[in-house]
C-alpha cells in the first residue's frame, strides 16, 4: 500500500486539531508527488464487503415489499376458504337474492340488496361531499388569506380524526331530526321524483346514512385536493393570469387540470372509506333488505353494516355468508380502484412530460 | 396594433421594501426596448409592473403613473384582465400548460376570451404558430403535449400563446436565459419579425443580445443590496453601447462590474 497508510495516519492525528482541513487534504492524496490510488495499491482491488448496510437495507425493503403481497394473498385465501362452504350451502342465487337468512336450516341469503345499498349510499355521499370538498380546498389553497387558511385546514383535518362510531351516534341521535324534517319537505314537494316518493316513515334512511358518510369523507377529499391544488406550479398560474384570465379562469385553466389526477385519487380514497364504512351506517340505516331508489324512507343497508349487525348471532354458515359478502365488498372496491387508475393512466402522457 | 408605453415616476414595492425608485421612460410603438442591469436591480419588477403582474404577489403595490397610449393602466376603473390581454408577457422559463396539447396551449388565451368557433381557433393557432416560427416543427403533432417539446420550442410555443390573443405590447422577461444559443437565435429572429406588429420590451442579462436586437436600451442599477433599483440611463442602443453618458453604464457594459 506504499506511503498511503502513513499519510492517512497524519490525517487522523491532525483531524481534531486546527490543521484538520489541511491534513485531510493530504490524506486523500491530492498532491501529485505523493499520490497513490486510495483503493487497491498494487495488491488488486479490495473485496466487497459480504455483509454491509447496503445489502441489509436492500433485504429489509424487499421484505417489506414482499410482505404486502403475502398479506393480500393471506386475506384472499382466508376470505375464499371461509366463503366457499357457505356459498355451497346457499339454496338460492347468492348474486340476485335480496334477503339474508343464512342461519336457517335451509340457508337463504343473497348479496343483491346489500351491494346495492352499499353502492347507493356511497355514491350519494360522494355526490354531496365532493363539490363541497373541492370548494373548500380551492378556498383554502387560492382564496383564503394564509392566516385563515392554516387554522381552517387544521380544523378540517381534525374532522378526519373523529371516530366513526361518534359520527354514527351523532347521526342517529342528533342529525336524524333535521334530516327527517328535510325528508318530509322533500316528500311534500318532490314526491313526483321516485327518489323522494313513498309514504314514510322517514328518517333512518339512505339519505341520513349518506349525509353522515358525506361528512366523514369530506376531510379526506378536502385535504388531499388542497394539497394537489397548492402544488400547481406558480409559473403556470402566472401564465394564465398574464393571458388575461380572472382568478376563476386561472383556476380552471391551470389549477384544476393540473390537479385532476390527484383529485380523482382523493375521491377514490373517499369512496373507499364510504364503501367500507361499518359502524356509522349500522347505526343510521334502517336495516331493510330491499332494492329501492327511494332515499328518504326508512330503509337501506350496506354490506359492512350488515356484517356488524348480524355477526354476533351468526352460526358457522352465517359467518361464512358474511365473509362471502365481505369478498364482494372487496371486489367492488377493487373495481372502483382500477377504474380510477385507468382514468389517471389515460392522460399519463401529459403528466409525465410535465416538468 | 402597437401602442406607446409611458412610465413616469414609477416605484414598486414588496410590502415595505422598495424594489424600484421613480422610473420614467417612454417606449415607442413597434420598437424593441432592452432593459439591462445586474441581478436584483428591479428590471423584472418594472416589467411586471407594466402589465400589472406585479400586484399578483402578496403585498405588492406601485406608485407613479403608467399609461398605454395615454390611458392610465392603474386607473381603478380599468379591468386588470383587459390590461394583461393588451400587454402580453413571456416568462423566463418556458411555462406551457402541462395538461394541454400544443394546440390547446396556443388557443388557451383565446378560449379565455370567449372565442369558441373551431375554425377561428384553428386559424389563430396556425397563424400564431407561424408567427412564432414553430408551425413547421409542430404542425403534424398539434395534439401532442406542449410540455413534450424542447426548451426552445416550448418558449416559442409560449410566444405563440401570447401573440395569439393579439396584444399591443409584448413583455419578455429574460426569454432566452434557459435556452441554448441556437434556440436563442431563433427567438431573436422571431423578435425582429414581431417588431412590425408589436411593441416589445425585453429584460435580458445578455448584453450582446441587447445590442443585437434592441432599438433602445435602459440600464438599471442599484447602489447596494437593499436599495431600490434606478434607471441610470435610457437611450438609443447604439449610443448606450458605444458612447454612454454615465460612467456606471460604461463600467457595466465593459464588464467592470455586475
3-state secondary structure B181-236: HHHHHHHHHHHHHHCCCCEEEEECCCHHHHHHHCCEEEEEECCCCCCCEEEEEEEE
Q: How far is B177 from chain A (nearest CA, A)?
A: 15
The model's pLDDT over A101-142, given as tens digits with 9 standing for 90+, comes to: 888 888 889 899 999 999 999 999 999 999 999 999 999 999
Q: What pLDDT sits at residue A6?
A: 41
Q: What pLDDT sits at residue A12?
A: 40
What CATH number has the domain bearing residue B191? 3.40.50.300
Q: What pLDDT sits at residue A317?
A: 87
Task: Give the closest of B53, B98, B101 to A238, CB-based.
Answer: B53
Q: What pLDDT sits at residue A349?
A: 59
Strands B199-203 and B32-36, bridge-based pairing: parallel
Query: What residues pair up with B26 in beta bridges, in sequence order?
Result: B6
The ipTM estimated for the assembled molecules is 0.90
Q: What pLDDT sits at residue A226?
A: 92
Say if residue B179's pLDDT is above 90: no
Enclosing domain of residue B245? 5-253
**Which of chain B's residues have a Cβ under 8 Å away from the Cβ of A355?**
98, 147
Inter-chain residue contact A243 with B108, CB threshold 8 Å: yes
| Cα–Cα dist B94/B152, whole Å | 8
Q: What pLDDT sits at residue B225?
A: 79
Q: What pLDDT sits at residue B258?
A: 57
Q: How many domains is chain B built from?
A: 1
CATH for the stretch A100-352: 1.10.3720.10
Q: What pLDDT sits at residue B83?
A: 92
B73 falls within a domain: yes
B189 falls within a domain: yes
| pLDDT band with cut points at 50, 70 and 90 for residue B226 | confident
Residues of chain A with pLDDT under 70: 1-42, 347-355
Inter-chain residue contact A244 with B162, CB threshold 8 Å: no
Q: Which of B85, B90, B88, B124 is nearest to B204 (CA)?
A: B90
Say if residue B35's pLDDT is above 90: yes
Q: What pLDDT sits at residue A31?
A: 47
Q: What pLDDT sits at residue A29?
A: 43
Q: How far is A265 from chain B (nearest CA, A)?
A: 17
The model's pLDDT over B81-117, given as tens digits with 9 standing for 90+, comes to: 999 999 999 999 999 998 899 999 999 999 988 888 9
The reply to whether B153 touches chain A by the CB within 8 Å rule is no
Mean pLDDT of chain B: 90
| Cα–Cα dist B198/B88, whole Å | 10
Inter-chain residue contact A353 with B108, CB threshold 8 Å: no
Q: Where are the domains of chain A?
A: 1-47, 100-352
B258 falls within a domain: no
| Cα–Cα dist A136/A143, whole Å | 10
Q: What pLDDT sits at residue B34?
A: 94
The reply to whether B98 touches chain A by the CB within 8 Å rule is yes
B93 falls within a domain: yes
Amino acid at each position: 500500500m506504499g506511503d498511503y497508510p502513513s499519510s492517512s495516519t497524519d490525517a487522523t492525528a491532525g483531524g481534531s486539531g486546527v490543521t484538520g482541513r489541511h491534513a485531510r487534504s493530504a490524506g486523500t492524496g491530492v498532491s501529485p508527488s505523493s499520490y497513490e490510488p486510495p483503493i487497491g495499491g498494487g495488491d488488486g482491488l479490495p473485496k466487497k464487503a459480504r455483509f454491509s448496510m447496503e445489502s441489509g437495507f436492500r433485504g429489509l425493503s424487499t421484505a417489506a415489499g414482499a410482505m404486502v403481497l403475502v398479506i393480500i394473498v393471506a386475506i384472499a385465501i382466508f376470505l375464499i376458504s371461509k366463503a366457499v362452504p357457505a356459498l355451497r350451502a346457499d339454496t338460492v342465487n347468492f348474486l340476485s337474492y335480496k334477503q339474508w337468512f343464512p342461519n336457517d336450516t335451509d340457508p337463504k341469503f343473497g348479496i343483491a340488496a346489500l351491494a346495492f345499498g352499499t353502492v347507493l349510499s356511497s355514491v350519494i355521499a360522494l355526490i354531496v361531499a365532493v363539490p363541497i370538498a373541492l370548494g373548500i380546498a380551492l378556498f383554502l389553497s387560492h382564496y383564503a388569506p394564509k392566516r385563515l387558511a392554516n387554522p381552517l385546514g387544521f380544523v378540517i383535518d381534525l374532522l378526519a380524526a373523529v371516530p366513526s362510531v361518534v359520527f354514527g351516534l351523532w347521526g342517529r341521535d342528533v342529525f336524524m331530526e333535521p334530516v327527517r324534517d328535510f325528508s318530509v319537505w322533500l316528500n311534500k314537494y318532490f314526491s313526483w321524483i321516485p327518489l323522494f316518493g313513498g309514504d314514510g316513515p322517514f328518517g333512518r334512511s339512505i339519505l341520513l346514512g349518506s349525509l353522515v358518510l358525506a361528512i366523514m369523507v369530506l376531510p379526506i377529499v378536502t385535504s388531499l385536493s388542497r394539497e394537489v391544488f397548492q402544488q400547481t406550479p406558480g409559473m403556470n398560474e402566472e401564465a394564465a393570469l398574464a393571458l388575461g384570465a380572472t382568478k376563476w379562469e386561472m383556476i380552471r385553466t391551470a389549477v384544476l387540470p393540473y390537479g385532476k389526477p390527484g383529485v380523482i385519487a382523493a375521491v377514490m380514497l373517499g369512496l373507499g372509506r364510504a364503501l367500507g364504512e361499518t359502524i356509522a351506517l349500522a347505526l343510521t340505516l334502517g336495516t331493510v333488505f330491499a332494492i329501492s331508489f327511494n332515499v328518504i324512507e326508512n330503509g337501506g343497508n350496506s354490506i359492512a353494516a350488515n356484517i356488524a349487525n348480524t355477526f354476533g348471532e351468526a352460526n358457522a354458515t352465517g359467518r361464512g355468508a358474511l365473509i362471502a359478502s365481505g369478498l364482494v365488498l372487496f371486489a367492488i372496491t377493487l373495481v372502483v380502484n382500477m377504474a380510477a387508475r385507468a382514468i389517471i393512466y389515460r392522460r399519463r402522457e401529459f403528466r409525465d412530460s410535465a416538468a | 396594433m402597437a401602442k406607446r408605453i409611458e412610465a413616469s415616476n414609477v416605484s414598486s414595492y414588496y410590502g415595505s421594501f422598495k424594489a424600484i425608485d421613480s422610473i420614467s421612460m417612454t417606449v415607442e410603438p413597434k420598437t424593441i426596448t432592452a432593459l439591462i442591469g445586474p441581478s436584483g436591480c428591479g428590471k423584472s419588477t418594472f416589467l411586471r409592473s407594466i402589465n400589472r403582474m406585479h400586484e399578483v404577489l402578496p403585498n405588492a403595490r406601485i406608485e407613479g403613473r403608467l399609461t398605454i397610449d395615454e390611458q392610465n393602466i392603474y386607473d381603478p376603473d380599468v379591468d386588470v384582465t383587459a390590461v394583461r390581454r393588451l400587454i402580453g408577457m413571456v416568462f423566463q422559463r418556458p411555462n406551457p400548460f402541462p395538461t394541454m396539447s400544443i394546440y390547446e396551449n396556443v388557443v388557451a388565451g383565446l378560449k379565455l376570451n370567449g372565442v369558441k368557433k373551431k375554425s377561428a381557433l384553428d386559424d389563430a393557432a396556425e397563424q400564431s404558430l407561424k408567427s412564432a416560427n414553430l408551425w413547421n416543427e409542430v404542425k403534424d403533432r398539434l395534439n401532442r403535449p406542449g410540455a413534450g417539446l424542447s426548451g426552445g420550442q416550448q418558449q416559442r410555443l409560449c410566444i405563440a400563446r401570447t401573440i395569439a390573443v393579439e396584444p399591443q405590447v409584448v413583455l419578455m422577461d429574460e426569454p432566452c436565459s434557459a435556452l441554448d444559443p441556437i434556440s436563442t437565435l431563433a427567438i431573436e429572429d422571431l423578435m425582429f419579425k414581431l417588431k412590425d406588429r408589436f411593441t416589445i420590451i425585453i429584460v435580458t442579462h445578455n448584453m450582446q443580445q441587447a445590442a443585437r436586437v434592441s432599438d433602445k436600451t435602459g440600464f438599471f442599477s442599484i447602489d447596494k443590496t437593499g436599495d431600490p433599483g434606478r434607471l441610470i440611463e435610457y437611450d438609443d442602443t447604439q449610443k448606450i453601447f458605444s458612447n454612454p453618458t454615465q460612467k456606471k453604464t460604461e463600467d457595466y457594459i465593459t464588464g467592470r462590474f455586475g
